[in-house]
Amino acid sequence: MKLADADHAGWSGGSTVMVHKRGRVWRAVRNSPGIQISLYFVAFALLIGLYTYIFHLFYPVLEGKQLSWVNALMFVVESMTTVGYGELLPFHNDLTMLLTIQIMISGVIMIFIVVPLLLAPFLTTLLAPTPPKKTPHVLTGHTVVFGYDELTRSVVDSLMIADHDIVIIEQDKTTALEIATLYRKRAYVIWGDYTDPNTWSAAHSANAHFIVICKDERQTASIVLGIRGMAKGKIISVVDKLIFDRYLRYAGADYVLSPKHTTGRILARNAVLNPSGDERQDIPGLDRIRINVNHTAGQELRLINIPVVFGCKAAFRSLGELGLFQRFGIIVPFLWKAGIFIPDPAADIIVDNTTSLFIFGTAESIVTAIQEVFNTDGCSDALAVIAGFGDVGAGAYQELLASGVTCMVVDSKPQGVNQVLGNAEDEQVLRKALIEEARFCIVALNDDDVNIFTTLMARNLNPVIRILSRANDPASVEKLYRAGADYVALLPMIGGQTIARIVLEGYVTILLDLPNGDIVVMKRVEKSRAGTVGSYFRRTGVRIIGIENSNRSVVAPGPDEVLLTGDDVIAIGDTEQLKKFIHQL
């Protein structure tokens, strides 16, 4: 009995091994298109051989004629491929005809059914376009960007004013193929794993001046720790939360940027001027678009956003009546009014609480104009409702408090601030937050659809409120304006501008990207023989609004004003115009 059990166990064990082997063989065949195609051709050849043998054997018996092996093979191949034949016709025996029909049907099945099902998908995969895994040549002094999204798109667009090589690393094959087609002439695209050193080498990261990482904090930390040893250039980490700043800097990042935090501050500054505003000093160009009225005085040129608020002397007067250039020597090159961007505004435009002016002039003149015409004393009793208290909402909250504005936060989670707990899409919650009495509403939620609906409700409940909203998707910007927003901050664009300012430092300083596609830049004249303001306008189409050096500051220079070596020139134009302009300086 024990012997029988042992024999049975041995047979059972052997059977199990055989089953496992058959399973491995089947999986190998099933998962390998190459093996499948090889088996198909072997089966096809065997079938041709079998039919050749049968036809050579039975044709002399059925038809009474001798047939060589070559003629038998020729007949079978002609029949299976359905190309036709005539040498052996006519047949006199029905069995010969039936055999021929069988050969034809087998050929049709093998060629017209098996091939499309098995071979065609393999060939499609084999011949499908594949994104590149390396650049076509060695690059130096370029920028490497990890990941692709709207922020990356904004970075690429902002860098187009310079002859600057960009390499985008994308891990997803489909996305990499799409952006390789999209940026065929503007950027190199590499398909590869973000954390693979081979991918870094393929992008020539060791030679890059800047490495930009636009992934989540954990993945960013992993990439920074790995690439820091080979990278000689600066590493820029883009994160959601600034609380990770010190950890990523410890890992090796030179810059840690949060577009969300910056967007919140920009939203607040489009609501009311922060008289004591400050900004990071390590971001080039930001000092030119910020001002502290308590400390700033001098001839340095600035481009400052001034929201018009109730109670200031500028409210409900035309630009012509304000006479800013005649009184202070400052100009308004563009403005926002009721959600509409207006470049080069006419003198008859009325300034009201839906208006944000962009004032250009010397710091001293702008401070004087703010104190005399755009004073913020009327904001001391103003109320702002902030819908959403994430990084964007928190940034806006801090900025508004610094401006003396009382804030009421609406959020579904307790935040430890003056708050109404609830959903911003709930009318009763907004009423409880005093939306009907508020002067400002910051819509800062992370969902564009929610922001659109909240904007609609806020505008309906308070027709005169100033609404400032964030957007994640460019397609949502126009919808938010239609819903009633007075100003929309597109988060990816703001992040892209900040990165471009850092990357292009020393070549050109980006001050602002405008909604109409124009860019405001500051560029130093390097050539010894420069032309006049008018000559540059005729050759490039760029509009020069200011000139500055250690001896002079000129606002709105005339066409005969000569540009001198060492002058810093502030100009407005589109990408192509500015590229021509920069090359000529």
| pLDDT one-digit tens code per residue, 351-397 | 988 888 999 999 889 888 888 888 756 566 789 999 999 889 998 99
Indicate whether 428 pLDDT > 90: yes
d(CA 415, CA 214): 28
Which stretches within 305-390 are classed as H helix?
319-322, 324-328, 363-372
**Which of 14-28, 169-183, 438-452 is least confident?**
14-28
Q: How far is CA 62 from the centre of its chain?
A: 75
Beta-strand pair 234-238/553-555: unpaired
Sign of CA dihedral 338, 343, 344, 346: negative
Return the axis-axis angle of helices 491-503 and 150-159, rounded to nearest 10°: 40
d(CA 490, CA 496): 10
- Look up residue 90 and give its DSSP letter: P
CA dihedral 315, 319, 320, 323 (to 10 degrees): 80
pLDDT tens by residue, 313-345: 888 899 999 999 999 999 999 998 888 899 999
pLDDT tens by residue, 245-272: 888 889 899 999 888 888 888 888 888 7
Q: Which of 126, 162, 124, 116 is nearest to 142 (CA)?
A: 162
Which stretches within 383-473 are classed as H helix?
391-402, 427-432, 448-461
Q: What pLDDT is recorded for position 25?
A: 60
Q: What pLDDT is recorded for position 87?
A: 64
Q: For 322-333, b where at least 16 C-beta lie within 10 A, e where not — what string? A: bebeeebbbbbb
Number of neighbours of residue 197 by Cβ within 10 angstroms: 13
**Over residues 174-191, mean pLDDT:** 86
**Which of 212-216, 375-379, 486-490, 522-526 is least confident?**
375-379
d(CA 71, CA 576): 72
Q: Which of 322, 424, 428 is nearest to 370 (CA)?
A: 322
Distances (CA, A) of 494 to 150, 271, 295, 300, 318: 11, 17, 27, 24, 30
Mean residue pLDDT of the chain comes to 83
* 420 close to 286: Cβ distance less than 8 angstroms: no
Percent share of the chain, pLDDT over 70: 85
Indicate whether 276 pLDDT > 70: no
pLDDT tens by residue, 386-426: 999 988 999 899 888 888 889 999 999 998 899 999 999 99
pLDDT tens by residue, 81-119: 766 655 666 666 777 777 777 777 777 777 676 666 666
Which stretches within 139-239 are classed as H helix?
150-159, 173-182, 197-202, 217-227
Straight-line distance from the first to the last Cα atom of the chain, in angstroms, rounded to the nearest whole number: 101
Indicate whether 459 pLDDT > 70: yes
pTM of the full structure: 0.73
Q: Which of 529, 544, 528 is nearest to 577 (CA)?
A: 544
Residue pointed to by tokens 């508004």: 400
* 237 close to 259: Cβ distance less than 8 angstroms: no
pLDDT band at 167 (very low <50, low <70, confident <90, very high): very high
**Which of 174-178, 281-285, 458-462 is least confident?**
281-285
Indicate whether 279 pLDDT > 90: no
d(CA 390, CA 291): 26
Q: What pLDDT is recorded for position 12?
A: 47
Residue with the larger pLDDT of the pair 203 and 30: 203
Is residue 583 helix, strand or coil? Answer: helix
Residue type, 532: T
